[in-house]
């Protein structure tokens, strides 16, 4: 895989110089939910277990439209507020019909597979932690890294078995953002490399594809092999590490910035590189950061794709996975 894909360090530094001009805003959603800490942790655990490939997921909760992972989260949060405490006994036996009812006002793809992850997560939680998400964190010693740390323990659950630990990092970030627990070594966190972060890395030129035919393949949305997918994703992780170092942000802040940029400005088909923006009605970048938007992407001008049509055609490599 040598040199088929590589990290452009100078471009990463350019990107970080723009990114560090803004801050991250996180509005806690669980503060006003008056249930036991354990139930909030279980909500986040099961939510992240099934939070992947959300591109065609959407729906309404109490008349409000949500898309992607927001819909999954709010549908599950509604269940929690209605008294669903995600007990392992119930989750292990959850039927497809019951699971489907959580999402009855919208569309949830890969539903059978997601249900298997709910059941398996419940089985593992029962087997090793008496069904308690809080015990999993306690037994990790509030450490993410190292033997017996949170990542090590959770990666034994099938839903969290991604070698780059994307969902584990999202879960750890949410736990901290919500103030439910804090990890002693949270600076050891990585970003969760998902399709948004890969698309931005390729379009900006932070990660470059040296092979023209592969570049065209990605632009056309053709499936790529596992070695190529892993090489691109690994390079993306490296690129975002440079951003973390250069911008001086916590990994979870960098993750939040690029995830929201990817699902708002840098959409697959019609990215908002320059004004006017057509995504302002669904933008989560402006609500999750301090960016004062004038109608164009924060990376406009320094992103390769903002001046090169070949790069705008790039998207995340097509690859079927439950890792992100």
Between CA 94 and CA 85 the distance in angstroms is 13
Using alpha carbons, list the distances in angstroms from residue 28 to 45, 79, 107, 124, 176: 16, 18, 25, 28, 10
Q: Which of 142, 170, 141, 165 is nearest to 154 (CA)?
A: 165
- 305 binding ligand SF4? (CB under 6 A): yes
Of the listed pieces 141-149, 219-227, 233-241, 293-301, which binds ligand SF4 according to CB under 6 A? Answer: 293-301
Residue 132 CB coordination number (10 Å): 17
- 266 binding ligand SF4? (CB under 6 A): yes
Of the listed pieces 108-116, 175-183, 239-247, 300-308, which binds ligand SF4 according to CB under 6 A? Answer: 300-308
Beginning with the edge strand found earlier in the chain, give each strand of the sheet holding 106-107 in spatial order.
Answer: 64-67, 58-61, 106-107
Q: Whole-number minimum distance, CB 300 to ligand SF4, in Å? A: 5
Applying the rule CB under 6 A, the residues between 218 and 257 that interact with ligand SF4 are none
Provide the phi-psi class of 159: left if phi over 0, else alpha when psi is between -120 and 50, else beta.
alpha
Answer whether 204's CB lies under 8 Å from 312's CB: no
Q: Whole-number minimum distance, CB 267 to ligand SF4, in Å? A: 8
Nearer to ligand SF4, 140 or 204 (CB): 204
Nearer to ligand SF4, 178 or 253 (CB): 253
Nearer to ligand SF4, 235 or 306 (CB): 306
In this chain, which of 45, 51, 200, 228 binds ligand SF4, going by CB under 6 A? 200
In this chain, which of 271, 283, 289, 316 binds ligand SF4, going by CB under 6 A? 271
Provide the phi-psi class of 136: left if phi over 0, else alpha when psi is between -120 and 50, else beta.
alpha
- Binding residues for ligand SF4, rule: CB under 6 A, are 200, 203-204, 265-266, 271-273, 297, 299-300, 303, 305-306, 312
């Amino acid at each position: 895989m040598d040199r088929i894909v590589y990290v452009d360090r100078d471009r990463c530094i350019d990107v970080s110089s723009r990114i560090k001009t803004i801050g991250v805003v996180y509005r806690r959603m669980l503060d006003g939910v008056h249930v036991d800490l354990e139930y909030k942790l279980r909500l986040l655990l099961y939510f992240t277990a099934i939070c992947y490939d959300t591109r065609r997921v959407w729906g309404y909760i109490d008349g409000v439209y949500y898309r992607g992972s927001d819909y999954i989260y709010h549908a599950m949060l509604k269940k929690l507020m209605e008294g669903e405490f995600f007990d392992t006994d119930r989750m292990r036996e959850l039927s497809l019909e019951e699971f489907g009812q959580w999402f009855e006002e919208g569309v949830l793809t890969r539903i059978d597979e997601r249900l298997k992850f709910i059941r398996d997560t419940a089985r593992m939680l029962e087997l090793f932690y008496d069904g308690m998400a809080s015990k999993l964190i306690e037994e990790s010693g509030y450490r993410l890294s190292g033997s017996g740390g949170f990542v090590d323990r959770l990666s034994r659950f099938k839903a969290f078995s991604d070698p780059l630990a994307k969902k584990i990092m999202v879960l750890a970030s949410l736990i901290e953002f919500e103030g439910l627990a804090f990890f002693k070594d949270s600076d050891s966190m990585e970003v969760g490399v998902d399709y948004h972060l890969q698309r931005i890395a390729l379009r900006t030129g932070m990660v470059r594809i040296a092979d023209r035919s592969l570049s065209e393949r990605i632009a056309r949305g053709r499936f790529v092999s596992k070695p190529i997918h892993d090489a691109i994703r690994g390079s993306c992780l490296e690129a975002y590490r440079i951003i973390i170092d250069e911008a001086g942000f916590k990994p979870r802040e960098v993750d939040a910035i690029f995830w929201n940029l990817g699902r708002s400005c840098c959409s697959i088909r019609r990215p908002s590189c320059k004004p006017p923006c057509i995504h302002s009605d669904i933008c989560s970048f402006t609500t999750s950061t301090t960016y004062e938007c004038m109608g164009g992407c924060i990376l406009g001008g320094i992103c390769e794709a903002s001046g090169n049509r070949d790069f705008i055609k790039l998207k995340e490599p097509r690859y079927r996975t439950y890792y992100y």
